[in-house]
Amino acid sequence: MTNKDIEERKFRPAKQEVKDAAKDLQTPQTTSAAYRLAFQDTDFLLREDLRPVRFQLELLKPELLMNEAKIESTFVFYGSARIPEPEKAQERLAAAMTDEERGVAQRLADKSKYYVEARRLANIAARYPAGEDGKRNFVVCSGGGPSIMEAANRGAADVDAPSIGMNIVLPHEQAPNIYVTPELSFQFHYFALRKMHFLLRARALAVFPGGFGTFDEFFELLTLIQTGKMKPIPILLFGKDFWTKVINFEALAEEGVISHRDLDLITWVETAEEAWSAVCAFYKDDTMMACG
């Protein structure tokens, strides 16, 4: 007996079975939905009973593809889908017709600096060198959409580095921004699985001004670390003026619903350099400074 005899695959691969199953046999039996291969039967896979299977598929697909891409860890970016880059912010401001529109446009223009900082921070993180085994760390990861997410993927693209986009199917039109690496552009049905993938490989996380989605993801991360379900990682919060206007963090501690030490989970920053320095300090890795 040879090694070939032992190692050779004995069962026909599923791809071959699919090809053979596609034979054009038009009979009542072969045209029935019951006859379709289960994993090719979309109507079957979308049944309520199959939700656990869809959960598993949505967990496995990005996991396997990121493993194949040798992505060891990620640098995750959260933030608004509505903050434009500075040039577009000025265009919107110029096009505003009413006092209300001008007020909103001006406040978004004031926050457009965070598009620039997100792009710069992603650029720094994306230059972190791969290991001798080819594995990559601090790979830029965003929600794959516009604004702050676009800035993050764009920062990685500026240095020809791969970056991840994790889009979600929404009732209104949404498409991945053009800077996401196509082979790492994922689409999710389940928010829960998407949020899990954001954090499974996360070794640092930057949070920029944002709305409900940003609040949801940011506070879930704080809760996971606060409760010990997840080990601490650097949580870099950009925009102290914004955040302290919309959330009174100190009041939460004063009211006793969190402890004052829970506030230490947050690192306040305003620039990409401050953020990267905080990550270097957290991991006590002076060699990381060279990437900045």
Give the domain ranges of the chain.
56-81+115-291
Contacts of 165 (CB under 8 A, 6+ apart): 141, 142, 143, 144, 145, 149, 153, 176, 177, 180, 181, 184, 185, 186
Phi, psi of 179 (to 5 degrees): -95, -10
pLDDT at 229: 97
133 forms bridges with which residues in the sheet?
Answer: none
pLDDT at 21: 78
Contact 89/108 with Cβ under 8 angstroms? yes
| pLDDT less than 70: residues of the chain | 1-7, 173, 286-292
pLDDT at 61: 97
Q: Which CATH architecture has domain 56-81+115-291?
A: 3-Layer(aba) Sandwich (3.40)
pLDDT at 286: 62
Phi, psi of 138 (to 5 degrees): 55, 40
Three-state SS for 36? Answer: coil
Three-state SS for 233? Answer: coil
